[in-house]
Structure 1
Amino acid sequence: MRLRTTLLALASTFTLVFALSGTAHAAQGEFTYYYLDDTGSASPAKLTDPDNACESIPELDVDPEAAAFNPSNYTDATAELYTKDNCGGDLVLTLAPDAHGNDSHKFRSVKFLPAR
C-alpha cells in the first residue's frame, strides 16, 4: 500500500512540475528600436514575440561599439535595457509595456520580464 501511495505522489509531482513549466511563454508583441546602419543612417528594427530572456540586439553584432537607441516596448512584458551584450554592463532603462525611451537611451541588449 505504501509503495502505491509513494508512486502516486511521485507521479502527481512530476505532472504538476511539467504542467507549470509549460506555462512560461514569450513576451507577446513587438519591441522596436533604431540603430545606425553601415551608411550612418538611423534604421528601424524590431524584436517580435521575444523570449522572456536576454536578447542581444542582432544588428549590432558587426560593431562592438555601436548601440541601439529610441526603444519602444509594445510587448506585454517589462523590458530592461543594458549597455553591454548578454544583459551585461549597466541597466540603462526599464520600460513597462507600452512605454517609450528616447535617443539618449543607448543599449546593446534587452531582457524581458514576464508579466505577473
Structure 2
Amino acid sequence: MQKPVPSDEGGLEEIRRQAKEAREALDAFDATVEAFLRASESRVDFFGMAAAGSATFVFEMRKGRNFRRNRLKRVLAFIENFEGNEGLRRRSAGRGGAPESDAALVGAKRSGAIRER
C-alpha cells in the first residue's frame, strides 16, 4: 500500500512568490546598472572592467547573458562604493584624443598593472 502524497499547495504558492521576486530582482539589477551608467556618464567598457572584470560585461548583460551570483554581487558592491567617475567617463565630444583617464588606463596596461585577456 502506497503512502498518500502530502499536499504542499501552500508551499508551492510561497515558492512561486519567491520566484517572481527573484525575477523582478534581476530586472532591477539591469535597471540599476543602466541608471548608474547614465548618472556617472561611465563608458560601458571601463565600467565593465572596473566592476566585473570584463570590458564586455554591459554588452553581455544587455544581450541577456546569465551571470554567476558572485559577479552580480561584485558589480553591486562597486556601484555602492563608487565615489567618482575618474577613469570611467566617456570621451568628451569637443576634445580630440583620449582624456587623461584613458591615458592613465593605457599606461597602467603597459606597465602590467592591468592584464588583458
Q: TM-score scaled to structure 1, two decimals?
A: 0.31
Q: From the two aligned structures, give the one with the greater strand fraction.
A: 1
Whichever of the two has the greater Rg, that structure is 2
With normalisation by structure 2, the TM-score equals 0.31
Per chain length, whose mean CA-contact separation is higher, i.e. which structure has more relative contact order (CA < 8 Å, sep 6+)?
1
Q: Which has the higher helix share?
A: 2
